[in-house]
Chain A
Amino acid sequence: MNIIKTSNITKKYGELIANDNINLTFAEGEIKAIVGENGAGKSTLMNMLYGLSRPTSGKIFIREKEVEFFTPLDAINAGIGMVHQHFKLVPSLTICENILLGVEIMYKGKFGKTPFIDSKKEYEKVQEVTDKFKIDLNLKDKVEDISIGLKQRVEIMKMLYRNVDILILDEPTAVLTPQEVDALIIDLQELKDKGKTIIFITHKMSEVMKLSDSVIIMRRGRVVGDVKTKDTNEQEIAQIMVGRDVLLRVNKEEIDYSKSGVIYKLENISTKNLLGKEVLSDINIEVKKGEILGIAGVEGNGQGELVKILTGLMTSTKGKIIFNGRNITNWWPVDIREAGIGIIHGDRYAQGLCRDMTINENIVAGYHRKPDVSKRGMMRYGEIAKKRDRLVKEYDIRIANPDGNVSQLSGGNAQKLIIAREFDSNPKLLIAYQPTHGLDVGSIEFVHNKILELRKQGAGVVLVSSELTEIMSLSDRIAVMYNGRIIGEVDAHKTNIEEVGMLMAGITNKRSNKI
């Protein structure tokens, strides 16, 4: 019997179709992996199965009975539990208290329940369940004192205690060390032996092969593959995941770099996140003048942190950054820009622009100390308005009200504004992170052409993107990031999309990659 069946499930957010007519079945006692790039719709789908959101249309069947989930509690009652990427644990409570959150056991007095918690009984009951599933936890420890791997175990236990039969895990290994991943795999196999159905979302091929019985591949809101793991291999999954779209061919001249100087160099750049885990290890890259270096990889492999370091929003724990011969390691953003580096941030409304400020004010952000913008501490709004008019014309930015706020602009035009601003300063190096994210085809073409123009003028470009087609069509060389390292570097003119796709999935061509 299929324990879960989805029938034409669709989820729309306004115009955006996050899940498009998903028809899936999950067999009982199976471990199923769901893979796909960022934005493919995996989490959206799982959130509906767990009652965190409701489908726009379509039906969900659990054990062949139609169900409607309004809250996670409904899902839990139907036997579905979910372990999220961001744990829902309370740091100062013990593991036992966290597991029993919402279902505490109270002392029973002569007249009925008292408001006091029966700690002893709670420990007994939870210990029963942990013993049953052979999960090793010291129940009296406080959650704030345990490791991330253990925290995840607590989350799993939370669900098991509530007798779920189906366990969904969202990117479970994203925050774990290699040893913790091995331990998790053992735990999950143990659960399967006890008859549980497991669904896990991941983008790591090796996990799929090691653990799952079958795998679903999603792309752009649709299911594009549904195979048994033993019938396939990593390469095939990677290919389906990345897709064989027609490349947006742009006019790219071949340039000979053998005589060009290196304009930008990273030596052994490494850094740690807030929890002390190393998220970037020994990044070494080089960009020559007039060259576009594409940095590919699935979102979450360290690109975000790398860009933050390159743009001065995060510090590195070791390593050097050298620009035009100068050591600019850990420089602040204002100095980076002043040195001649243009920046297109990943999130245009978070870092690139301020929606509630005018177009004038945005068009000089980052360059507001330059003499044509401000003199002796006073802003030259007249000059700024002239600059705005010039750039609007040059870059064909569609504006309804020139004195109005940036919030009036469409995504494409907002991005054009950012590009106009950065390019106008004649940067010698451009750092572009997801420059065409969320844009229409016309805008994408515009952005790409502008980047190529910059290249022709002899500037270097670091293009970080999870859109493989973009990387393929623009880059001269491609470096692929995986797990915080550069896993491989190829010449863009001599490689193909499959080769890069495999690197992105963590597969080097020598041997199957251990995580």
Chain B
Amino acid sequence: MKKGKMFLLDIFNSLLPVLSAFGIGAIIIILIGGNPLTTYSIMFSKTLFNWNGFLKTLHFASPLILTGLAIAITFKANIFNMGVEGQLLVGGFFACVVGFYFEGLNPVVHVILGLLTGITCGMVFAFIPAILKAYFKVNEIVVTLMLNYAVIEILRILTQTIYRDPTSGYVSTPAVASSAMFYRIGGTRLTLFFPLTIIVFVIMYIIFKKSRLGYEVTAVGKNPEFAEASGMNIKRKIIYIMLISGALSGLAGAGYMFSEKFKYTLDFSGNPGLGWDGMLIALLGRHSPIGIIIAAIFYSALKTGGDIINIFTNVPKESVGVIQGLIILFISIRFINQNTKLFGNTMARFSTTKKKKNEEVQK
């Protein structure tokens, strides 16, 4: 099958769940007395076709690109890192600590210090499930999932005790110093975080397409027996991938902290959480790197658009969450196995009916 055709099929396979979800979303909107067409058009026109809105979309897309990447690269190795959310929170939290702990530092130094802290924390947190999987073959899905909840709780305790901001009315840490905030480009909402994400993205792309590590990880994901027989140290690769994933998540958290939130609160990552948003993005765009960027921007538009529609219509922004859930639900069907061919569900059904017909003819 030619590459062009495969590419179109990829897009189709990602587009179909999205359109179906929007379809059902439209029905729901109608049921509550809204107009889906105007709702959707407001949602996207103000976030994609309006200059300020678009910049805002890009701004919020930054952490999403990183979390999407974080999960997508583990998919490549047939690993499910469900702990991206936790790694992001840890990264964001400790970056915040660095942010308010030091004062009067050179802004560039301060930001870099905070980002590095975030990256390191994300890596440390991803290290435990990595070791457990590599050396003891423990299922990383359950472990990362559980550690997420543990870490959310621990961070909450830290926020309520040691790192609490006594002046704040709600549970929060102190805000980071102004030297720890990303420079805003041209007075817009967009910060240097966005170009940073793009740079990181390009680096990851190069690593995966051109480096030996990328080569080995691809082999591990597609055929672990072959990888082992070809002399690749699978244990080490698993650890590397998880560490990189953790680093990306930590960076996402730290960057988000320094570009948007500036303090750690109990809803830092929003609902359902940037990590889970990343899961959606990775699923939508997993077959091509550009796909991830597009999915991230699209999803950011969806989210920021959701906030806006509340103002212009009486459709609540929670409807975005519903659409998000539906997208994930519909996309789950074809995501059976990393290595399966890219035919959607309808095609598979086609071939079984054909087989049955043949068997009947043979009788």
A-side interface residues toward B, CB under 8 Å?
A: 56, 311-313, 332-338, 343, 345, 350-357, 361, 365-366, 368-369, 374, 377-379, 381
Contact = CB atoms under 8 A, between A and B. Distances in A.
A350 B223 contact: yes
B226 A365 contact: yes
B219 A354 contact: yes
Contact of A313 (B215, B219, B229, B233): B229
A350 B233 contact: no
A368 B212 contact: yes
Given A333-B228, A379-B212, 5 more contacts: A56-B362, A311-B229, A312-B231, A350-B226, A379-B210
Contacts of A374: 212, 215
A356 B339 contact: yes
A354 B228 CA distance: 12
Contact of B211 (A332, A369, A379): A379
Nearest to A345: B229
B188 interface: no
B232 to A, nearest CB: 7
B153 interface: no
A332 B227 CA distance: 12
Nearest to A68: B363
Contacts, number: 71
A405 to B, nearest CB: 10
- Which applies to chain B's interface (DSSP): helix, strand, loop or mixed? helix
Contacts of B229: 311, 313, 333, 343, 345, 351-352, 366
A356 B223 CA distance: 9
Contacts of A369: 212
B225 interface: yes
A357 B339 CA distance: 11
B213 A365 contact: no
A361 B216 CA distance: 10
A379 B211 CA distance: 5
Nearest to B231: A334
Given A353-B226, A354-B226, A356-B223, A334 B212 contact: no
Given A333-B230, A337-B231, A377 B211 contact: yes
Nearest to B216: A368
A326 B133 CA distance: 33
Interface in B141-172: none
Interface in B214-245: 214-216, 218-219, 222-223, 225-233
Contacts of A311: 229
A312 B229 CA distance: 8
Nearest to A375: B212
Contacts of B216: 368
The 3 closest A-B CB pairs, nearest first, are A334-B231, A351-B229, A365-B230
A334 B233 contact: yes
Contacts of B230: 333-334, 365-366, 368
Contacts of A56: 362
Contacts of A353: 226
Contacts of B218: 357, 361
Contacts of B213: 377
A334 B210 contact: no
Interface string B315-326: 000000000000
B225 A350 contact: yes
Contacts of A361: 215, 218-219
B355 to A, nearest CB: 13
A112 B261 CA distance: 67
B228 to A, nearest CB: 6
A378 B226 contact: no
B225 A351 contact: yes
Contacts of A337: 231
B210 A352 contact: no
Contacts of B215: 361, 368, 374, 379
A368 B214 CA distance: 12
Contacts of B225: 350-351
Contacts of B219: 354, 357, 361, 365
A381 B211 CA distance: 10
A353 B227 CA distance: 9
22 contacts: A312-B231, A333-B230, A335-B231, A337-B231, A338-B231, A351-B228, A351-B229, A354-B219, A354-B223, A354-B227, A356-B223, A357-B218, A357-B219, A365-B230, A366-B229, A366-B230, A366-B231, A374-B215, A378-B211, A378-B212, A379-B212, A379-B214
